Structure 1
Amino acid sequence: MIDRNFSRIKRDDTELVHRYVGHLKRATDTVFAYPTLLNRVDVVERFIEADRDGFDAAMVACSGDPGVAEARSIAGIPIVGPMEASLHLACTYGYKIGIVTVEDRSWAEYCDMMVGAAGLRDRLSGVGRISIPSKEAFTSGFLNPGEVAEEIERVAARLVDDGATAIVIGSAGLSVIASTAGLSRLHGSAVPIFDCLSVGLKCTEMRADLTQKLAIPEYSRAGFGTRMEEKDVERLRSLFAIS
């Protein structure tokens, strides 16, 4: 489903390659802090591979943007977090952002935290949770995307009634389902609903272009973005027994 959605929007000259994490398999694990921490190590490993294998840019296919900040400190290519990209893009479409996410309260709170990290606290109208449990949404929901898309739209409509003027889907799985079902705006209105993965892909293409064609750095190397020296990266990898 991800490939079908991406194939509709990617440029003809863009080649997509998937690299998979080695351990975490359940999407429902990512609503907890500890497995999310462990998963970031795997994600960073894939970013390191992408850099060393000569890719032009890379993004993580997760709305939590795991490993993005960490990989930016060691990789020499643009690294994109789809949720960060979607939140900022949504601000160019409407003044108030509403986020639709999964039923899990912990992930809804994490979405709120990401808004704060992006410096967009004043632009957030609210975070709305669907009523379908994640174990259903990410199993039978992939077989019947229309039903889940209807629930996403229902929550989006409520957020718009509460003041949101642009909607971001704060879930990779729900984003895939929404685009598969053709949900990109609130029916009967011109309020956009952003699939964060698709926005992330287009942002990744743009970032690659800016680096290659205008020589804009892959990331600011001042302050927190300062890139570590390779010898220090290898030292740390040895200390933590990372192969």
Structure 2
Amino acid sequence: MNILLLNPNTTSAVTDLLHAAGAQVASPGTELVAMTARRGVPYIATRAEAQIGGAIALEMLAEASTGIDAAIIAAFGDPGLFGARELFDIPVVGLAEAAMLTACMVGRRFSIVTFARALAPWYQECVAMHGLGARCAGIRTLDDGFRSIADVQAEKEDMLVTLANRAIEQDGADVVILSGAPLAGLAAKVSHRIPVPVIDPIAAAVRQAETLVVLKPRKPVAGTFRRPDAKATIGLAEPLAAVIEHRQRHDAHGGSS
């Protein structure tokens, strides 16, 4: 099983964190194929950046989807997720949706805990997008800045644990999600310090992607996620243009997809 681990920001060190944490839970025989955006922003934190990241995620999926059984859009606000499900035949999983749905299976209400205040409005809209507002006890963020996006989990570990425990005590959270791609792997390190289940979004996403590959859900031919009709394009990256226009494209080895 080959699962594309698609990081739509430009920080390869964050991709490395995601890959390492995902590999810890992947089943034997599952290969995580990591890919980092070649353009965009170092980390996605705002609505505008999410729009940019979503378009880049679609380009990356079109470029790399041949030979892939499923894909993970590895940014917590799930940029481009619904568009990807329209365009591509393989299962596509988002970090936020996978984490929240997993949290709903182990508790009644979850809290999202993250490292930057700027993320809160986008994350709140992501919760609403997935129809999970009634299950979300709240979103808690740290207020201070950080030195490096690649090292933020080590720098802020103790503060994030304190924030998670505050969400349990004050918000009534049954489950905590440590959110944001740069926090990949942190849940396993700190779960003994938090008295409710702690969800790592990349771990949830890898296991959800594996499940969907095994279940083999058909591509919808009706409903809101059926593949859109072919449409002419101008100026798009060639792999994505080929997907939208419903034409075969040739990969680097001379094959077609």
TM-score (norm 1): 0.83
Structure 1 equivalent of residue 40 of structure 2: 24
- Paired residues for 1:156-167 under 5 Å: 156-162=164-170, 163-167=172-176
Q: Look up the match of 1:49.
A: 63
Compute the displacement of 1:183 (Å).
2.0
- Please give the secondary structure, in 2, of the residue aligned with 1:59: strand
> Residue 208 of structure 1 is aligned with which of 175, 196, 213?
213
The answer as to 2:147 corresponding to 1:136 is: yes
Aligned to 2:199: 194
Distance 1:150 1:73, change over 3 A: same
Q: Distance in 2 between matches of 1:124 and 1:25?
A: 28
Pick closer, same or farther for the CA change 1:77–1:94 going to 2, 3 Å: same
8 Å contact from structure 1 (residues 96, 164) kept in 2:
yes
Tell me which amino acid in the other structure corresponds to 1:164: A
1:173 partner letter: P
Note closer, same or farther for the CA distance 1:100–1:117 as it changes in structure 2 (3 Å cut). Answer: same
CA offset at residue 32 of structure 1? 2.5
TM-fit CA distance, 1:228: 1.8
Question: The residue matched to 1:136 in structure 2 has which SS?
Answer: coil
Q: Which residue of 2 aligns with 1:154?
A: 162
**How many correspondences in the alignment?**
221
What's 1:122 paired with?
134
Q: Post-superposition shift, 1:223?
A: 2.8
Change (3 A) 1:140 1:119: closer
CA shift digits 1:141-193 (9 cap, x unpaired): 36xx2x422221111100000211101122111234x14x6123544x2x011
- CA offsets, 1:43-79, max 9 Å, x none? 111212333x121000111111111111111101000
Q: Which sections of structure 2, spanning at least 5 residues, go unmatched?
A: 1-16, 239-257
Q: Residue in 1 aligned with 2:77?
A: 64
Structure with the larger strand share = 2
Q: Which residue of 1 aligns with 2:125?
A: 113
Contact 1:40 1:67 in 2 (8 A): yes
Matched, 1:74 2:53: no
1:11 paired with 2:27, answer yes
* 1:169 and 1:195 in contact (8 A); partners too: yes
* Counterpart in the other structure of 1:171: 180
**Percent of counterpart pairs with the same letter?**
24
Which residue type is aligned with residue 136 of structure 1?
Answer: R
Q: Which residue of 1 aligns with 2:250?
A: none
Q: SS at the partner of 1:217?
A: coil
Q: 1:240: how far off? A: 4.3
Task: Look up the equivalent residue of 1:148 and give its one-letter code.
Answer: K
CA shift for structure 1 position 83 = 0.5
Residues 104 and 131 of structure 1, relative CA distance in 2, 3 Å threshold: closer
Mapped to 1, the partners of 2:62 and 2:236 lie a distance apart of 16
Amino acid at match of 2:47: A
Runs of 4+ displaced beyond 6 Å: none
CA distance in 1, matches of 2:226, 2:101: 23
Per-residue deviation at 1:221? 4.6
Provide the C-alpha distance between the structure 1 equivalents of 2:121 and 2:221, rounded to a whole number of angstroms: 30
Whether 1:103 and 2:116 are equivalent positions in the alignment is yes
Letter in 1 for 2:122: Y
Amino acid at match of 1:169: L
Residue identity in the other structure for 1:42? I
> What is the letter of the counterpart of residue 121 of structure 2?
E
Q: Any conservation in 2 of the 1:56–1:78 contact (CA below 8 Å)?
A: yes
Question: 1 CA distance for matches of 2:100 and 2:221?
Answer: 23
Normalising by structure 2, report the TM-score: 0.79
